[in-house]
Structure formats: C-alpha cells, structure tokens
Homo-oligomer: A and B are copies of this chain.
Amino acid sequence: MIRFSNDYSEACHPLILEALAATNLEGNFGYSRDPHSEKAHELIRKAVACPTADVHILVGGTQTNTTVIASALRPHEAVITAATGHIVGHESGAIEATGHKCITCPAVDGKLTPALVRAAAAAHTEEYTVKPRMVYISQTTELGTLYTLPELEALSETCRELGLYLFLDGARLGSALATGLFTLPDLARLCDVFYIGGTKNGAMMGEALVIVNDALKPDFRYHLKQRGGMMAKGWLLGLQFEVLMQNDLYIQLAQHANAVALKLKDGIAALGYRFTSDSITNQQFVVLPNAVLEQLNGRFTWEVMSRPDANHTEIRLVTSWATPESAADAFVQALKEAAANT
C-alpha cells in the first residue's frame, strides 16, 4: 500500500529517532526548561532572524491555534479567517469553545486578501457585533496554495493599518518555505505570531510557535499550561527541533516532499486530469473518474474531498519527507493503466 492520504503517516526522520535514542536516559528538567529546548529556541530565533522572539513548542496544531487565539483576544474579539481555514471546519469548534467567533471570508484558493480583510472589518464596527482583532492564515493553505511574499506584505500592511494581529498557521510551513518564495525572516517581519510545523515535516510531533509581537508574549506559559499544551517531557519537543533546524534538514525534507508532489502533478496532468487548485506544494487536489479510482483502490490511499458529480471524485494526494519518488511513478503508471482499462 502506497500512502498519499496525508503527511503524518510515518513517525519521524531517522536522525530524530537517533537523537531520541541517544538522549533517552540523560535526565532533563521538565516543562521545556531544559538545554535541548533552549538550544532549539535559540536556533529558531536565529533562523527567523528575530533575537527577541519568544519560542514555545507545542505538541499539535489545534492546541497551538487555540492557545494563541485564546491568549491574545478579549472576550468580544474575533478572528478573521478564510471560510476554508483549518480552524473553521477541522477543529471541532475549538476556537468557539474558548469563546471567540471566527469571521469567515469567501476566499478564493483558500487565501485571504487585503480586500477580504477590509470587508470583514467594515462589516463589524458596531458594539452589537464582535470586534475583529486577529487575522488567521495558513501557509500553505488547506488547498495546497500559498501566499507569495508580496501577498504576505500586503496582508501584513492591512492588518497593521486596521489594528489586527496577523497569525500564520504553519502546520505545513516546510512545504511552503521549500518553494523559496519567502523566508522565515520575512514571516518574523510580517506576522505577529506564527508557527513552524514539525509534525508534518520530519518530527514525531511538535509545532514551534514564534511570538514576535511583544504584546502577545506576557504570561504565555500560563496559557500553554491551561490549554493542555505544556508537555511534562518538553525536551522531547525541543530535541526534535534541535535536529530539524540544523544542517538545513527542515528545508531539505520539505523540498523532497514538494519534488515528489510535483512529479505526481506533472504525471497526472499529462494524462489530462483537472486539478482544483494550482498547488506547487505537497498537497495536490485532482478530479478523477470513479471508475478509475476503483481500480487504484487498495494499492494507494488518498483523501476524498468532494464529489463534483455522480461519476467523479475530487481527491487529495499528499506527499511527505518519507514518500519515495518511486511512489509517484507507481501512481502515475497505475493511473495510466486504469484509465486505459476504463
């Protein structure tokens, strides 16, 4: 079985497993007050070129989104997001459970624009509405698309003008960074807070949160603890980022994932199938005939996104640092044969 259903099917990169084994019994203080965490934080501060940033590493994405948003907003404040945003439909109402509304925008390709943000802000100016205070974006988005540097700059400028925090969910930041269209220091310059996703790019688990804006820093560890995001053995998270942030490992893993994804894309496109978003990252969304998919079933895995009509299905194919190039070749070959048989 070849897995394209997601980018979290394997545990971790072998170098991380080695590091875990090497340090297994060394003894460390708890709650991320240990040398590995400190080292990881330092490496991240360097990588983002922001020596004053606060870094906290959390286990998972929902936890990170919830903790950031709940710690930053007063009860009447809300977060603006694309209607396709992960916090809207994939976290079981976690944001609302902390008391805050998600103001959703009909974003094309999953991306917010200054115009959408302005419209959302303009529709919420009275005291009987919520008050927009933060903008949430993902890089890459749920649709595999990404913001270019000029797009990020324009969004950032709009947020600052309107008094909105810019929060970037980087669960798949590796894949985005690997395109070379922007850098970590760009994010530190443009966002108030963002995170560097480890779970989907080589780590067993771990999302490294970078708080740039001083206003969001005070007492953040209280919130970590309160929301269940402070791990007793925090050094396990620190250690993994210590490995990932050295020798360009983080970026190399993502480059590999993207390369395999593009190979898949090119191969599938050559067969004439339609993609529902124009992705150059590790997620590809394509519409295939059901009759073809039935033949692939059992040999490959994917995720079903929608059923545009009775005979077609939109699927998502995802690659990771662990997907071999041969997997892409095998899929394209199988697809070709299946199409011929249909």
* Chain A residues near B (Cβ < 8 Å): 1, 3, 5-6, 8-12, 14, 17, 20-21, 23-30, 59-63, 66-67, 70-71, 74-76, 78, 89-94, 96-102, 127-131, 199-200, 204-205, 219, 221-223, 225-233, 236, 322
| Residues from chain B with Cβ under 8 Å of A75 in the complex | 70-71, 93, 97-98, 223, 226
The answer to whether B5 and A29 have CB atoms under 8 Å apart is: yes
The answer to whether A233 and B128 have CB atoms under 8 Å apart is: no
Q: Identify 19 residue pairs between A and B in the complex whose beta-carbon atoms are under 8 Å apart, listed by A's number.
A: A14-B24, A75-B226, A76-B97, A76-B219, A91-B128, A92-B128, A92-B130, A92-B223, A93-B101, A96-B96, A96-B100, A97-B226, A97-B227, A98-B99, A127-B219, A127-B221, A205-B231, A205-B233, A205-B236
- Whether A27 touches B3, Cβ cut-off 8 Å, given contacts A89-B129, A127-B221, is yes
The answer to whether B63 and A228 have CB atoms under 8 Å apart is: yes
The answer to whether B30 and A11 have CB atoms under 8 Å apart is: no
Identify the interface centre among A67, A127, A223: most chain B CB within 10 Å of its CB.
Answer: A127
Identify the interface centre among A24, A76, A92: most chain B CB within 10 Å of its CB.
Answer: A92
* Closest B residue by C-beta to A12: B24
Identify the interface centre among A1, A74, A76, A322: most chain B CB within 10 Å of its CB.
Answer: A76
Distance in angstroms between the alpha carbons of A60 and B230 in the assembled complex: 9
Residue among B3, B5, B59, B127 making CB contact with A231, cutoff 8 Å: B59
| Residues from chain B with Cβ under 8 Å of A227 in the complex | 94, 97, 228
Identify the interface centre among A14, A99, A322: most chain B CB within 10 Å of its CB.
Answer: A99
Say what secondary structure dominates the interface of chain A: loop
The answer to whether A128 and B20 have CB atoms under 8 Å apart is: no
7 tightest Cβ-Cβ pairs between the two chains A and B: A63-B228, A76-B222, A93-B130, A92-B226, A92-B225, A96-B101, A8-B232
The answer to whether A232 and B205 have CB atoms under 8 Å apart is: yes
| Residues from chain B with Cβ under 8 Å of A222 in the complex | 76, 92, 127, 130-131
Distance in angstroms between the alpha carbons of A76 and B220 in the assembled complex: 9
- Whether A226 touches B14, Cβ cut-off 8 Å, given contacts A27-B3, A98-B75, is no
* Closest B residue by C-beta to A72: B74
Distance in angstroms between the alpha carbons of A316 and B296 in the assembled complex: 58
| Residues from chain B with Cβ under 8 Å of A230 in the complex | 60, 62
Distance in angstroms between the alpha carbons of A222 and B131 in the assembled complex: 8
The answer to whether A24 and B9 have CB atoms under 8 Å apart is: no
- Whether A30 touches B8, Cβ cut-off 8 Å, given contacts A92-B129, A101-B96, A225-B127, is yes
